[in-house]
Amino acid sequence: MSHTITGTCQGCTACLKVCPTQAIRGERKVIHVIDSARCIDCGACGRICAFTAVLDQHAQSCTHARRAEWLKPCFDLKLCTACGLCIQACPVSCLELNQSLKMDKTLYPNLSRADDCLACGFCVDICPVDAVRMASPNN
């Protein structure tokens, strides 16, 4: 089951704008609907909804947070193998291989477009060697 929108939705379109796969439909001030075939369960709609109108894939109510407070991925480059799985898992391509640290010309991942990050944690889930973790942007 994908994310769903409940009757407390105010039709503010915030979720519609943040959704990376255009899975949400709805007019302004009308309850929005999530197309389960397109939904990838990134959870961005739930985080951005100020009316806690979104249920996650387990039918639990999502917690709202100001976008500036959303967690961001941090990379432990000592563990990172530069395998690029995190780059490709990201639904908004906000990561890039452009950090060069060593003499061997290897490029490592970097959050190059932090404002676009959805805090979905796909990069954390897919990393084979646990080199990515989510952290507060203020730390």
Partner 1 sequence: MPPYSGKVLWVDLTAQVIEEQHIPDEIYTQFLGGIGLGAWMLYRHIPAMADPLGPDNILGFLPGLLTGTPTLYTGRWMAVGKSPLTSTWGEANCGGYLSIAIKQCGYDGIFIKGISPTAVYLLIGPQGPQLLNASDLWGLDTYQTEDILIDRHTVKKKPAVACIGQAGENCSLIAGISHDHGRMAARSGLGAVMGSKKLKAIVFCGAKRVDSVDPCRMKELSRKTQKFTQITLPIPAWSPPWLGLVMRNPWISIRLDGIISNTVLKKWGSAGYNQFLNEWDDSPFKNWTGSHHDFPMSHSRAFSAKQVMEDEVSKYHCLACPTGCGGIYKNPDGQSHSHKPEYETFQSFGGFLLNEDYPSVVRINDLLNRAGMDSISAGACVAAAIEWYTEGLIDCETAAGLELTWGNTIAIIEMVRQMIERRGFGANFSDGLKAAAERLGLERHTGVIESGGQELAMHDLRLDSGLAVHASVEPNPGRHTTGSSLYYDFYRLWKVMPELPKPSLFERKKKARIPNYQLGIRCVANSNFTNFYNTLGVCFYGACLGADRLFFFDQVNAACGWHHSAEHYMQVGQRVQTLKQLFNLKQGIDPVSIRPSKRALGLLPLKKGGNRGVMVNLDSLRHFYWQAIGWDHKFGIPTPETVNALGLGPLAMELELPAMILNKHTAWQIEMQSQEGLEVTQ
User: Which residues are at the interface with partner 1 (CB under 8 A)?
Assistant: 20-23, 38, 40-42, 81-85, 87-93, 97, 100, 104-107, 116, 122, 125-130
Comparison of 8 and 93: residue with beta carbon closer to partner 1: 93
Minimum CB separation of residue 8 from partner 1 in Å reads: 26
Comparison of 10 and 99: residue with beta carbon closer to partner 1: 99
Alpha helices in the chain (DSSP H): 14-18, 44-48, 85-89, 122-126
Give the closest residue to 113 by CA, choosing from 94, 99, 132.
94
Comparison of 38 and 52: residue with beta carbon closer to partner 1: 38
> H/E element holding 108?
strand 107-111
Minimum CB separation of residue 90 from partner 1 in Å reads: 7
Minimum CB separation of residue 14 from partner 1 in Å reads: 16
Question: What is the residue type of 42?
Answer: C
Comparison of 33 and 40: residue with beta carbon closer to partner 1: 40
Taking the C-alpha atoms of residue 114 and residue 135, their distance in angstroms, rounded to an integer, is 13
Residue found by looking up tokens 């999530």 in the block: 34
Minimum CB separation of residue 66 from partner 1 in Å reads: 21
Question: What is the residue type of 73?
Answer: P
Query: Under a CB-based contact definition with an 8 Å cutoff, are residues 127 and 86 in contact?
Result: yes
